[in-house]
Structure 1
Amino acid sequence: MKRIITFISAIIIFLVAMLLTQPAQNAQQKLTHKKVIKVGILQLVSHPALDQIHAGIISGLKDEGFVAGKNIRVDFQNAQGDQSDLKTMAQQLADRSDILFGIATPAAQSLVNSASKTTPIMMAGISDAAGSGLVKSEQHPGGNVTGASGDSPLEKQLKLIQDIMPQAKKIGVIYTSSDAGGQSNARKFAKLVTKAGLQPKMYTIANTNDMQQISQQMASQVDAIYAPQDNGVASAMKTLVNNANQAGKPVFPAADTMVKDGGTAAYAIDQHDLGRLAGHMAGQVLKGKQKTATYPVGFVVKGKYVINQAQVDRLHISIPANILEQAHKNGRIIK
């Protein structure tokens, strides 16, 4: 009798699961029959890293045969860091889009809260998708959300700092308290710093207005500074660098674009590649070849050395020859 009850229960659970997932699958399949697909892109704020992700999304879609003005219509909204605008824009895009992109964690979360469960949502620039509650797991998203993630190659980033600054003992780590991805990245890096026998010193800003005071304090107390994948820090990068320069301390950012904004050096993934991967994944969903619920989150894992030569010269820092060689060969040296 128990076996029969167990068998019947299993059948019921299976049927319920099918009923819940089938509407989303049918909705995604219908996208392939549309002549012009409406693509909604929501970006948290403008700074070079997120702007590059946006450009990469458009490139990735084009690689898959989806071209703006031809078979897709792109509706791009940028909240410029305003949480109220972010929610309003998310709802507007959700109401009129066939597929959605969220650039940065808060943008993706706002889309999830606004869109129907049948509208595919592609993440881009999300460093901790599962921890942020956007997917059940990276291998099995389980709903209408998937996309591209690219956490920093933290161990190689720390090795870069040690190679360039072998005398550094205190590493400052600054992040925004409201940025889940930045906070996660900062804490992971701090653990590696401690494991390496060095001392991480954590500093928090509530918003970009805090950067002036907090970065001045930090620069006077540490030997080198790590700037994580954090939208608040990236937006205030020039202020951070200015105060660090006055104290003669190098800033090692997580994103390649942040080096151009004044960081000294980084071993980082390419933000354009991250967006491009999200565009490619969206193309597979639009063609009906993948379903978001079973499409594992994609990762950009290969990094490159990016060196800001002007900063190196300003701070009188010596870059090891092997790192310079790799930056010349596969990375980038900003003059």
Structure 2
Amino acid sequence: MNKRLISTIAIIVAFLAVAFVVTGKPAQQTKNKDYVPTVGILQLVTHPALDEIHRGIVAGLKTQGYTGKKIKIDYQNAQANQANLKTMSQKFTNENADLTLGIATPAALSLAKTADGNSPVILAGITDPTGSGLVKTAQRPGANVTGTSGDSPLEQHLSVIKQVVPNAKKLGIIYTTSDHGGEYNAKKMAQLAKTAGYDVHMYTISTTNDMQQVAETMASQVDVVYAPQDNGVASAMKTLINITNKDNIPVIPAVDTMVKDGGVATISVSQYDIGYQAGIMAGQVLKGKNTATYPVKTITKGDMVINLKQAKLLGLRLPADMIKTAETKGEVFK
């Protein structure tokens, strides 16, 4: 091979390398100021709590200047269908979305798997991002995934149970087998409750269709039910309440929307705030922040939420200070 040919090949290789850097998918900071990013939002299922996270995401993005014609948002709802999650995640990849957000653990897992370490994925309301394998650690996620985690204040929930049903001995805890966050919270609550002296009974559903049968069994065996932050249980909350009401069994859930659906009381972390912070983080990543070193933000502050109508229906007298706290700093459903 003569020197001229070698030189020509070297020039071509150098040109292609530069062309790849310039024409390949660039970092956000290299794009011109008029560039309109595409953001995909994948939500597991329609439910008030998850809808609030979605609403918060849009508001958070707006604070970073991504609103109106300055962003293209592709919102997809899988309606709790695993096949839909996979198809919708692939849709974002095919459309070269600059960034995706996953609302609930199954949605986030699907997005992360499809992105395969490439485009950024922002978590929105994931209970245990490290345990579910989405990040290496909360402080240093390590790859293309970061976001927000809504950690249930389980010790405070146990305190609510003690205040609402002080004479209860048998505690039923129900969760969905396919919901990592729900299982995580349910098992942690079981440990806390056993240490506190409760006789704990665990119940599971595979889908919302199982709720009626499982709830009927549970209501006949326990004094009070704890419903963790679990998408399947939340979606079937009204079915659960219809069953437990027949046996006069109070349900203490994890979030405000579940109290509205018939739970008695809880300390609820704002789902809107979880989404809002995820939206802010997404905006920062679009501007060039590195997901690998962008710590997961855990939202833990909660407010007292009570359902006076439900308490009256079950013949429960809620402590005066609990009612006052809900009226002044939280929320009361009447």
Q: TM-score, normalised by structure 1?
A: 0.90
- In the alignment, is the contact (CA less than 8 A) between 1:237 and 1:262 conserved in 2? yes
CA distance in 1, matches of 2:278, 2:74: 16
Alignment of 1:179-328 (within 5 A): 179-288=179-288, 290-328=289-327
Alignment of 1:87-166 (within 5 A): 87-96=86-95, 97-166=97-166
- In the alignment, is the contact (CA less than 8 A) between 1:28 and 1:291 conserved in 2? no
- In the alignment, is the contact (CA less than 8 A) between 1:205 and 1:214 conserved in 2? yes
Give 4+ residue runs of structure 1 displaced > 6 Å after superposition: none
Report what 1:13 is aligned to.
none
CA distance in 2, matches of 1:297, 1:242: 38
Residue 27 of structure 1 and its aligned partner are, at CA, apart by 2.7
Residue 42 of structure 1 aligns to which amino acid in structure 2? L
- In the alignment, is the contact (CA less than 8 A) between 1:102 and 1:124 conserved in 2? yes
Residue 166 of structure 1 aligns to which amino acid in structure 2? P
Alpha carbons of structure 1 residues 177 and 128: separation in structure 2 relative to 1, 3 Å: same
CA distance in 1, matches of 2:42, 2:182: 19
Residue 291 of structure 1 aligns to which amino acid in structure 2? N
Report what 1:170 is aligned to.
170
- After superposition, the C-alpha distances for 1:196-251 in whole angstroms (9 at most, x for unaligned) are 11121100111111100000110111111010111110111110011011110111
SS in 2 for 1:35: coil
Gaps of 5+ in 1: 1-23
Percent identity at matched positions? 55
CA distance in 2, matches of 1:320, 1:141: 42
Residue 94 of structure 1 and its aligned partner are, at CA, apart by 2.3
- In the alignment, is the contact (CA less than 8 A) between 1:237 and 1:261 conserved in 2? yes
Residue 26 of structure 1 and its aligned partner are, at CA, apart by 5.8
Residue 108 of structure 1 aligns to which amino acid in structure 2? A
Residue 208 of structure 2 aligns to which amino acid in structure 1? T
Residue 297 of structure 2 aligns to which amino acid in structure 1? G
Report what 1:7 is aligned to.
none
Residue 315 of structure 1 aligns to which amino acid in structure 2? L
Gaps of 5+ in 2: 1-23
CA distance in 1, matches of 2:75, 2:327: 35
SS in 2 for 1:215: helix
- In the alignment, is the contact (CA less than 8 A) between 1:94 and 1:116 conserved in 2? no
Report what 1:85 is aligned to.
84
- In the alignment, is the contact (CA less than 8 A) between 1:25 and 1:118 conserved in 2? no
Residue 311 of structure 1 and its aligned partner are, at CA, apart by 0.4
Alpha carbons of structure 1 residues 30 and 256: separation in structure 2 relative to 1, 3 Å: farther
SS in 2 for 1:118: coil
Report what 1:73 is aligned to.
72
Alignment of 1:41-52 (within 5 A): 41-52=41-52
Alpha carbons of structure 1 residues 28 and 120: separation in structure 2 relative to 1, 3 Å: farther
Report what 1:12 is aligned to.
none
Alpha carbons of structure 1 residues 308 and 89: separation in structure 2 relative to 1, 3 Å: same
Alpha carbons of structure 1 residues 128 and 211: separation in structure 2 relative to 1, 3 Å: same
CA distance in 2, matches of 1:313, 1:70: 50
State which structure, 1 or 2, has the greater radius of gyration over its C-alpha atoms.
2
SS in 2 for 1:70: helix
Residue 230 of structure 1 aligns to which amino acid in structure 2? D
- In the alignment, is the contact (CA less than 8 A) between 2:98 and 2:286 conserved in 1? no
State how many pairs are aligned: 310
- After superposition, the C-alpha distances for 1:294-323 in whole angstroms (9 at most, x for unaligned) are 011001111011111110111111111111
Residue 283 of structure 1 and its aligned partner are, at CA, apart by 1.6
Report what 2:6 is aligned to.
none
SS in 2 for 1:201: strand
Residue 117 of structure 1 and its aligned partner are, at CA, apart by 2.3
- After superposition, the C-alpha distances for 1:141-166 in whole angstroms (9 at most, x for unaligned) are 00000000011100001001101111
- After superposition, the C-alpha distances for 1:83-132 in whole angstroms (9 at most, x for unaligned) are 11110011001222111000011101111111252311100120000000
- After superposition, the C-alpha distances for 1:239-297 in whole angstroms (9 at most, x for unaligned) are 00110111101111111111111111111101111111101111221222x31000110
CA RMSD of aligned residues (A): 1.5
CA distance in 2, matches of 1:167, 1:220: 17
Residue 34 of structure 1 and its aligned partner are, at CA, apart by 5.4
Q: TM-score, normalised by structure 2?
A: 0.90
Residue 87 of structure 2 aligns to which amino acid in structure 1? T
Residue 51 of structure 1 aligns to which amino acid in structure 2? D
Residue 193 of structure 1 and its aligned partner are, at CA, apart by 0.2
CA distance in 2, matches of 1:34, 1:298: 30
